Amino acid sequence: MGGLGAVLGGAGRVWSRDATVYRHVAKWLLIPNFLDPVLFLVALGLGLGTYLTGVEGIPYIDFIAPGLLASSTMYTASFETTWNITWKIDMNQTYDAVIATPVDPQDIVVGEVLGGGTRAALTGVVFLAVIATFGLVHSWWGVLMPFVVALVGLVFAATGVLTAVHVSSTAFWGYYYTLFVTPMFLLSGVFFPIERLNGWVQAIAWCLPLFHGVRLLRGMSLGDPVAFWWVSVLYLMVLPVVLVIPAGRSLRRRLMT
């Protein structure tokens, strides 16, 4: 318990530092992170949606709104923990100064994951308020949607941090978004049910964390029971924990060499 308490204490200091910095730039970061999914919602839901009869009896805008909520959280968490971490490691040498204090590399990783997840959840909750204002949340299960948004944020913050500690150039991030984030955006059921895809593509989708966030948020928004919902919740809860362990070890090796 002492070891866990020490890690959480150090991580809390990293999180607090990031929160202090974020407060100074929040209004400039929230605006684009907020506008991007809103534009998608208007263009696809109110634009393209007028030409569609719906998806499985659901108006198209109601169908895509929870998916856009999950994907916008993914993108925010990714942006907060990719270039930022590379900058702190290689350009600004922020972590070289941090490890000179009682905070160690594992604390840094946990703190950065919590920080990125918090900022992504904040953006997600703002977007959730927008879709609720549009009347696109149809169930009282919607009160639990911020919990799922937070889990999605933590998952992709952890993914971003784990990748960042192995990256030595910001040029790599173009491949990360093109080959990892964008395919997940397209294959996780944001815009259409994955049941319409080939069986092997469905199997891949089930392995993608964004898919689990989308299915949970859509079920809560529509009040539609999600089969094996606990599998998705458990997956989103366990994955960040699994990812921060190797990330901490890799960051330690990188900073100590």
| pLDDT tens digit sequence for 9-61 | 788 888 888 888 777 776 666 676 667 777 777 777 666 656 666 777 888 88
CB 164 within 8 A of CB 78: no
pLDDT score at 149? 97
Structure tokens at 190: 């944001």
**Residue 75 CB partners (closer than 8 Å, separation 6+):** 33, 36, 181, 185
Nearest-10 Cα torsion for 82, 86, 92, 93: 130
User: What is 126-183 written as a DSSP string?
Assistant: HHHHHHHHTT---SGGGGGHHHHHHHHHHHHHHHHHHHHTT---GGGHHHHIIIIIHH
Q: How confident is the model at residue 155 (pLDDT cuts 50, 70, 90)?
A: very high
Which has more pLDDT, 191 or 23?
191
Strands (E), the chain: none
Total number of domains constituting the chain: 1
Cβ atoms within 10 Å of 251's Cβ, excluding its own: 25
Lowest mean pLDDT among 21-25, 131-135, 141-145, 216-220: 21-25
In whole angstroms, what is the distance from residue 114 CA to residue 146 CA? Answer: 15
Structure tokens at 194: 């994955």
Q: Is the pLDDT of residue 73 over 60?
A: yes
pLDDT score at 9? 79
SS3 label, residue 58: strand
Task: Give the domain extent around 79.
Answer: 2-256
CB 65 within 8 A of CB 45: yes
Which residue in 193, 212, 13 sits closest to 103, CA to CA? 13
- Give the pTM: 0.89
In whole angstroms, what is the distance from residue 107 CA to residue 113 CA? Answer: 10
CB 148 within 8 A of CB 236: yes
